[in-house]
A and B are shown apart, each in its own frame.
Chain A
Amino acid sequence: MADLENTSEDSIIICEDVHKWFDDFHVLKGVTTAFKRGEKVVICGPSGSGKSTLIRTINRLEVHQRGRIVVDGIELSDDLRNIERIRQEVGMVFQQFNLFPHLTVLQNVTLSPVWVKKVAKSEAESEALALLERVGIEEHAHKFPAQISGGQQQRVAIARALAMQPKIMLFDEPTSALDPEMINEVLDVMRELAASGMTMLVVTHEMGFAREVADRIIFIDEGAIVEEAVPAAFFDNPQHERTQLFISQTLQH
């Protein structure tokens, strides 16, 4: 614990030798890294490399089978209370938005504050409306998810995650399911969020966004970190052969 406490001064997430298997398939092969408070990290890599799985282990949507993950001083274990506490501190945005189709936009955002944090409904609603205004969809608050566009849905999903006032936000390919003309409205919200000092872990293929916003880029291939560097070094002077190949392929289009 001694070394952990030292690093946890500025590290909000610590991963130590994290392993994960799906049956026989070894998805994560000993990932060790740490994320600082307020840091924006873009995680990239070819599909099937384990980048999504890595961020999903951080809020326990996937269970890691070996190694340790500590989030804001709480170790992820089989302790239900720890899992509950971590999920309240970590917000997540999914590729497919995953809004609740039977609830209005506003209800989507207030659901968790009302039921988990037991915030009074009126208070939760005014906070939710403020968040919806922040992501620019306050006028759709009483519509159902099916009645708004994909980009708008993803912005609602961001507001829903923010409603729990998380310390960390995880983004799992947030723009991959969007039509091209809607990608920017979501990235703009993420830029604004980054500027506000939120700790962000973003799995994405948007290399422009990565270069502009990220403090650090982690390149994962075949379940292990191949290279991590600041954007300028990552894009202009990649050290590893696989990174070079990935960058040349991604930047072609």
Chain B
Amino acid sequence: MENNSPQSASDKIPFWRDIRVLRVLFQVSFLIGVILLAGILYTNMLRGLRGLGLTLNLDFLNDEAGFGIAEGIAYEPSDAYLRAFWVGVVNTLRVSVIGIVCATILGLVIGIARLSSNWLVRNIAAIYVECFRNIPLLLQILFWYTAVILQLPSVRESFTFFGGVFINQRGVYLPSPQPTSGVKIWIGCLAVGFIFALALYLVRLRKLRQMEQPGFAAKWALPAFLLVAILGWFLIPGKPFTLELPALKGFNFAGGIYFSPEFAALLIGLVIYTGAFIAEVVRSGIQSVAKGQWEAAKAIGLSEFQTLRLVILPQALRVIAPPLTSQYLNLTKNSSLAVAIGFPDLFNVGNTMMNQTGQSIPIFAMIMMSYLFISLTTSAYMNWYNRRINRIGR
């Protein structure tokens, strides 16, 4: 036993006990398993397609779609399938982007309200969160669509605001700005103002750098640009834009910006549902900041609002950002529930295309890739943002 020196050479270990060998071995066998499974699925799919007399190609995308799409960017039924698909993508993006912005604002307000010292505010926020978080989203969207929006007054009895905003069961009509002949001069004016503002911005930025101070670098540039824009607006003969008001023509309104009842119901449903989750994310983020931070901020005389804005939220954001990303992704993906109320989003249009062409596999792949692309872009942005806020003070 005395001669039994510690094993130094690794070659004495049999390979089935050697961690380094096992590590590689497991990974290789896992990879082989994945490839085999993918191969089986692929051959199975090809066999199925042969049975249906279909081949895998994307030529059908150039064929005439032949079906109408209720809203979105310019599109005619005589356009190609690819264009129809693109209309769906843009509609999904539109509802997602507006939804994310609104849900963030709503969630922030409700999340802070849940921590309010005001009993009523705190409990109303809690009831909101508990109700909307615990009812299926599909149900909520159908509720907003059938029980609220479709019950709005008829076209002739529309709710009217400021003489230009009309809300009725056919949707929401807003005035839209229309460019006039003066618009080019005004844009020129803006360009000059922009160059002027940029110079001011750079001057102030350099000054802040010299003083080694954090500060709002656009403090001079922004008002200067706005001033030029406003002066230009009033001094140029003829206004650069006129407001086109929606006008009642026959049985419906024409002109202006239009949101369909389907869009409104989907947006409201997504915002209110996701807002409840974001509120919880915000609340937990704020609660993660140590109590001592509140006390220190109070002790140096900051008001409640200043404490929240200058001390608590910047620290809470580090905790909030990662789960917030998940909520943004959820909102985007949940927008595919549009199919239930007939809003022509990516999935809905894709579904129609599948029914017409029978090309379910390529279209499914296109839909999946589109969602994947939107989600990964959102993720990449949020990860960059997260890294940026985490770099400070660590």
Residues of A within 8 A of B302 (CB): 111-112, 115-116
Q: Are B213 and A125 in contact (CB under 8 A)?
A: yes
Q: Are A112 and B301 in contact (CB under 8 A)?
A: yes
Residues of A within 8 A of B306 (CB): 115-116
Q: Are B295 and A102 in contact (CB under 8 A)?
A: no
Contact of B295 among A98, A101, A146 (CB under 8 A): A98
Interface residues of B in 263-322 (CB under 8 A from A): 290, 292-293, 295-303, 306, 310-311, 314-315
From known contacts A87-B300, A107-B214, infer whether A101 and B292 are also in contact, taking CB-CB under 8 Å: no
- Closest residue to A141 on the B side, CB-wise? B212
Asked whether any CB of chain B lies closer than 8 Å to the CB of A53, the reply is no
- Closest residue to B309 on the A side, CB-wise? A115
Q: Are B299 and A87 in contact (CB under 8 A)?
A: yes
**Interchain nearest-CB distance for B311 vs A (Å):** 6
Residues of B within 8 A of A98 (CB): 290, 292-293, 295-296
Residues of A within 8 A of B292 (CB): 94, 96, 98
Asked whether any CB of chain A lies closer than 8 Å to the CB of B249, the reply is no
**Interchain nearest-CB distance for A101 vs B (Å):** 5
Q: Are A103 and B393 in contact (CB under 8 A)?
A: yes
Asked whether any CB of chain B lies closer than 8 Å to the CB of A88, the reply is yes
Residues of B within 8 A of A150 (CB): none
From known contacts A111-B310, A115-B310, A144-B393, infer whether A99 and B296 are also in contact, taking CB-CB under 8 Å: yes
Asked whether any CB of chain B lies closer than 8 Å to the CB of A91, the reply is yes
From known contacts A100-B311, A115-B310, A125-B213, infer whether A61 and B393 are also in contact, taking CB-CB under 8 Å: no
Asked whether any CB of chain A lies closer than 8 Å to the CB of B388, the reply is no
Residues of A within 8 A of B290 (CB): 96, 98
- What is the total number of residues of chain A having a CB less than 8 Å from a CB of chain B? 33
Q: Are A121 and B299 in contact (CB under 8 A)?
A: no
Asked whether any CB of chain B lies closer than 8 Å to the CB of A12, the reply is no
**Interchain nearest-CB distance for B321 vs A (Å):** 14
Q: Are A102 and B392 in contact (CB under 8 A)?
A: yes
Asked whether any CB of chain A lies closer than 8 Å to the CB of B211, the reply is yes
Asked whether any CB of chain A lies closer than 8 Å to the CB of B6, the reply is no
Q: Are B310 and A121 in contact (CB under 8 A)?
A: no
Residues of A within 8 A of B297 (CB): 100
Residues of A within 8 A of B314 (CB): 102
- What is the total number of residues of chain B having a CB less than 8 Å from a CB of chain A? 25
Asked whether any CB of chain B lies closer than 8 Å to the CB of A142, the reply is yes
**Interchain nearest-CB distance for A59 vs B (Å):** 6
**Interchain nearest-CB distance for A82 vs B (Å):** 13
Contact of A87 among B211, B214, B301 (CB under 8 A): B301
Asked whether any CB of chain B lies closer than 8 Å to the CB of A84, the reply is yes
Asked whether any CB of chain A lies closer than 8 Å to the CB of B215, the reply is yes
Residues of B within 8 A of A111 (CB): 300, 302, 310
How distant is the Cα of A147 from the Cα of B212 in the complex, in angstroms?
Answer: 19
Contact of A164 among B295, B300, B310, B392 (CB under 8 A): B300
Q: Are A87 and B298 in contact (CB under 8 A)?
A: yes
- Closest residue to B295 on the A side, CB-wise? A61
- Closest residue to A86 on the B side, CB-wise? B301
Residues of A within 8 A of B299 (CB): 59, 61, 87, 90-92, 94, 161
Q: Are A160 and B295 in contact (CB under 8 A)?
A: no
Residues of B within 8 A of A151 (CB): none
How distant is the Cα of A111 from the Cα of B214 in the complex, in angstroms?
Answer: 11
Contact of B296 among A88, A100, A102 (CB under 8 A): A100
Write the A69-112 contact mask toward B (1 if CB under 8 angstroms, else 0): 00000000000000010011011101010111111000100011
Residues of B within 8 A of A160 (CB): 300
How distant is the Cα of A101 from the Cα of B296 in the complex, in angstroms?
Answer: 12
Q: Are B298 and A61 in contact (CB under 8 A)?
A: yes
- Closest residue to A103 on the B side, CB-wise? B393
Q: Are B393 and A145 in contact (CB under 8 A)?
A: yes
Residues of A within 8 A of B310 (CB): 111, 115
Q: Are B213 and A121 in contact (CB under 8 A)?
A: yes
Most buried by A among B213, B295, B393: B393
How distant is the Cα of A161 from the Cα of B296 in the complex, in angstroms?
Answer: 9
Asked whether any CB of chain B lies closer than 8 Å to the CB of A122, the reply is yes
Q: Are B300 and A161 in contact (CB under 8 A)?
A: yes
Residues of B within 8 A of A125 (CB): 211, 213
Residues of A within 8 A of B50 (CB): none
Q: Are B300 and A116 in contact (CB under 8 A)?
A: yes
Interface residues of B in 191-231 (CB under 8 A from A): 211-215
Contact of B301 among A84, A101, A142 (CB under 8 A): A84
Asked whether any CB of chain A lies closer than 8 Å to the CB of B394, the reply is yes
Residues of B within 8 A of A92 (CB): 296, 299
Q: Are A101 and B300 in contact (CB under 8 A)?
A: no
- Closest residue to B292 on the A side, CB-wise? A98
Residues of A within 8 A of B392 (CB): 102, 144
How distant is the Cα of A121 from the Cα of B219 in the complex, in angstroms?
Answer: 14
Residues of A within 8 A of B293 (CB): 98, 100
Residues of B within 8 A of A164 (CB): 300-301
Write the B168-189 contact mask toward A (1 if CB under 8 angstroms, else 0): 0000000000000000000000
How distant is the Cα of A101 from the Cα of B292 in the complex, in angstroms?
Answer: 12
4 more A-B residue pairs beyond the given contacts A87-B300, A112-B300, with a C-beta to C-beta distance below 8 A: A98-B295, A100-B296, A102-B392, A111-B300
Offer 18 A-B interface pairs, CB within 8 angstroms, sorted by A. A61-B295, A61-B298, A90-B299, A92-B296, A96-B292, A99-B296, A102-B392, A102-B393, A103-B393, A111-B300, A111-B310, A115-B306, A116-B301, A125-B211, A146-B393, A161-B299, A163-B300, A164-B301
